Amino acid sequence: MASPLTDLEKRKQISIRGIVGVENVAELKKGFNRHLHFTLVKDRNVATPRDYYFALAHTVRDHLVGRWIRTQQFYYETDPKRVYYLSLEFYMGRTLQNTMINLGLQNACDEAIYQVSLNLIHSLPGEMEPSCFLDSMATLGLAAYGYGIRYEYGIFNQKIKEGWQVEEADDWLRHGNPWEKARPEYMLPVHFYGRVEESKEGARWVDTQVVLAMPYDTPIPGYMNNTVNTMRLWSARAPNDFNLKDFNVGDYIQAVLDRNLAENISRVLYPNDNFFEGKELRLKQEYFVVAATLQDIIRRFKISKKGSTGPVSFDSFPEKVAIQLNDTHPAMAIPELMRVFVDVEKLDWDTAWAITKRTFAYTNHTVLPEALERWPVGLLETLLPRHLQIIYRINQGHLDGIRALFPGDLERIRRMSLIEEDGGKRVNMAHLCIVGSHAVNGVAEIHSNIIKNDVFRDFSELEPDKFQNKTNGITPRRWLLLCNPGLAELIAEAIGEEYVKDLSQLQKLNELVNDDAFIRDVSKVKQDNKVKFSQYLEKEYKVNINLSSMFDVHVKRIHEYKRQLLNCLHIITMYNRIKKNPKALFVPRTVIIGGKAAPGYHMAKKIIKLITAVGHVVNKDPVVGSKLKVIYLENYRVSLAEKVIPATDLSEQISTAGTEASGTGNMKFMLNGALTIGTMDGANVEMAEEAGEENMFIFGMRVEDVAEMDVQGYDAMTYYNNIPELKQAVDQIQGGFFSPKQPELFKDVTNMLFNHDRFKVFADYEGYIKCQEKVSQLYQEWTQMAIKNIAASGKFSSDRTITDYATEVWGVEPTDLKIPPPNEPRKALEETARVLTEK
């Protein structure tokens, strides 16, 4: 009997992207063996799966470097306007498969690895998600750079022990990173603390403590276009000039140990818990990245002006530089650029301010008030005294303008000031971003309307043209080609391969909605993905999965506004219905929930414990059997998302209307043929517009309903008393049915639901249950609705999002690189060497 085909063999059989060239495969095999021996110093007798991964990664990188160098040469030669995307949450890991796809090397690498008798598909280390936006910028040929921090420890690894989340350090760099290149020659000083000296020549920031910023560059290849952009992440290093006036061995040892204090700045990524805490280390991180980045940007700008005579003029700075602030975390870039212009480059204030405003644009990511950054004035005065002075002066000019337009309107001045006085003086960083930028955007139509009409209404009334919408998007390279090759190939066979770079072409699939063969093929791909994922679940969680069940998936950060509790109440309701009438018809479900809770977020951790407790009862009940299973995915991450998303039937997007900025998980599920049950929140609204509400499962309050309830008051007890199934489920939770050894365990959860639930779970319960009943009724008609959703997902490509930013915010055009074609690394390097020799 023949052995079952490996994933790699199956992919080779279905690939329609042409026959792999023999020369390409031979070159890759040679490179693979060379790196295994000479880079890793291993042979096949002692090499580990990670060694094979690194050997392949280095081999693929060889095909990148010529393009990478030539791209940067081209930018130097043509001096296009450059886009700088600043984010504190770039978290790059091993991006091998994404790179192979974008370079057109996936099939050749598969064949090469196959020929050397290895199957790396299952032995690759878990890969982290590269930014969809950086991928799209490179694919569109924009001269773009991502800047962030090279965190030594990323977001924690989550373990579930006895139903509780336990955090473990994510030491993601311990084995090295084959994609990054250290650039110590570009190390830059960043200053903290000190004091400000005033003189006739201006202000001087003196007696500072210096931390060095060491850059690490990672290549970002575009899809099949030879563009390779750069993401530069900064790592904190202590300077070597120890203060050893009274030198002795003890002082020297202590001085060396004290270096850790400086280097802690890039030690760990703060978890995103939508709650601002105001930690000094976080402010240090925020200033560290913007101070180093702006020095780098100005250095690059000055290089482009080398041919000019006299001092460098910054008048053209906004024509050559566009800086996008991703949320308020890099907001200190605004006063820092002003400091450099005024104190270092000696520009007058008004000129510097005009240039600064034309350079920056700001993306808002949240409307939750507790998540907005407000830094205490006292902390800024200690850590960044000169910047506080600059912020005060920016605020003075801003408020003078408000007073001139609205004389005597003290309440408006209070609302619009950068400095908040309530509960201690604080700097509102969102206000600073708005005042210091020429464009402000939300990330979904409904979110942008909320920030214009509610959160930042005063600013929108003052400068209505400044506010825009840029609906988020995802890269189809990772979220279809890489994670769901079966569906990607099927679509390519039906409409051609151009959709990979123009996702709007998916609309052509509407012509196949009633094609029996296509419906059957889409259904088979989904079932194959479910089989594959169920094998993973059975191995990891020791639970038998009913393959005919609906895979009902809710994966995202655990937070009250995302309403995992509403899903949990539905699970309990389904369980109670089965127990009440075991012989009744019931569409089987496998409910899969996953996500991390911020380490200090007590309620989120309790929600995880509740879900796992409910799952324990449901999964062990013989009456329920295979009709209902509940699985909590441990340590949800990108590599796990790539497994679960292609296998999902129903995607849960059930946040309270008006709380989710956009979401991108909803788009990933839609693109992969899952149907959505959700509220009219975030990008769900535009998804419903594109696909038609009849092809989604929409329920619950709209934004205006929530606002009206906020005015009239939300009474959870009314819903509890009037909806018997809700009352039964809540009574079971608070009565200890799911925690018999600790009956009081979930009292604080039910107390929150009754007394201070800002996100109104009970108010949407009845609509959610009825909508879920409709889901079950339509499960047999699923595939045609799924095809309509796939066909409608073209709008949600990050390529479209970045095109909108480029034309409407940054004012940049794609470049036209003429670089050697793919799969010719040696020729590319020879061409690069020739160009460098000529220079």
Q: For residue 365, indicate whether it is catalytic.
A: yes
DSSP state of 4: P
The tokens of 626 are what? Answer: 């295979």
- The residues, ordered by sequence, that sit 6+ positions from 469 with a Cβ below 8 Å of its Cβ are 441, 442, 443, 444, 445, 447, 448, 449
The tokens of 208 are what? Answer: 């500072």
- Residue 564 C-alpha from the chain's centroid: 20
Q: Which of 664, 676, 783, 832 is catalytic?
A: 664
Q: For residue 556, indicate whether it is catalytic.
A: yes
DSSP state of 508: G
Q: Which of 570, 668, 760, 795 is catalytic?
A: 668
Q: How far is CA 586 from CA 524, 549, 553, in A?
A: 23, 10, 18
The tokens of 433 are what? Answer: 């971003």
Residue type, 426: R
Nearest to 598 by CA among 631, 560, 626: 560
| Count of alpha carbons within 13 angstroms of residue 813, beta-carbon side | 7
Q: For residue 570, indicate whether it is catalytic.
A: no
CB 237 within 8 A of CB 212: yes
DSSP state of 451: I
Question: Strands 82-86 and 321-326, how do they pair?
Answer: parallel
Per-residue 3-state assignment (H helix, E strand, C coil) for 628-679: EEEEEECCCCHHHHHHHHHHCCEEEECCCCCCCCCCCHHHHHHHCCCEEEEC
CB 740 within 8 A of CB 594: no
Could you tell me the end-to-end alpha-carbon distance of the chain, in angstroms, rounded to an integer?
Answer: 63
Q: Which helix (H) or strand (E) holds 55?
A: helix 49-78
- Residue 260 C-alpha from the chain's centroid: 29
- The rounded distance, in Å, linking the Cα atoms of 499 and 490 is 12
DSSP state of 79: -
Angle between the 516-541 and 782-791 helix axes, to the nearest 10 degrees? 100
Strand partners, 440: 362, 467
CB 369 within 8 A of CB 420: no
Q: Which of 556, 605, 609, 760 is catalytic?
A: 556
Nearest to 502 by CA among 695, 688, 823, 224: 224
Q: Is 203 exposed, middle or buried (0-12, 13-18, 19+ CB in 10 A)?
A: middle
The alpha carbon dihedral of 242, 244, 249, 250 has a sign of: negative
Q: Which of 339, 365, 398, 596 is catalytic?
A: 365
The tokens of 78 are what? Answer: 């043509």
Task: Give the ranges where 6-48 is alpha helix by DSSP (H).
Answer: 7-14, 22-34
Mapped onto helix, strand or coil, the DSSP state of residue 247 is coil
Angle between the 132-139 and 798-805 helix axes, to the nearest 10 degrees? 70
- The rounded distance, in Å, linking the Cα atoms of 571 and 537 is 19
Q: Is 68 exposed, middle or buried (0-12, 13-18, 19+ CB in 10 A)?
A: buried
CB 477 within 8 A of CB 134: no
Q: For residue 643, indicate whether it is catalytic.
A: no
Q: Which of 70, 557, 563, 605 is catalytic?
A: 557
Q: How far is CA 754 from CA 707, 757, 764, in A?
A: 19, 7, 14
Q: For residue 557, indicate whether it is catalytic.
A: yes
Residue type, 91: Y
CB 393 within 8 A of CB 435: no
Number of separate helices (H) and strands (E) present in the chain? 33, 23
The tokens of 767 are what? Answer: 């609509």
Angle between the 761-777 and 564-580 helix axes, to the nearest 10 degrees? 60
Q: Which of 554, 562, 589, 800 is catalytic?
A: 562
- The residues, ordered by sequence, that sit 6+ positions from 352 with a Cβ below 8 Å of its Cβ are 337, 338, 341, 342
Q: Which residues are catalytic?
A: 365, 556-557, 562, 664, 668
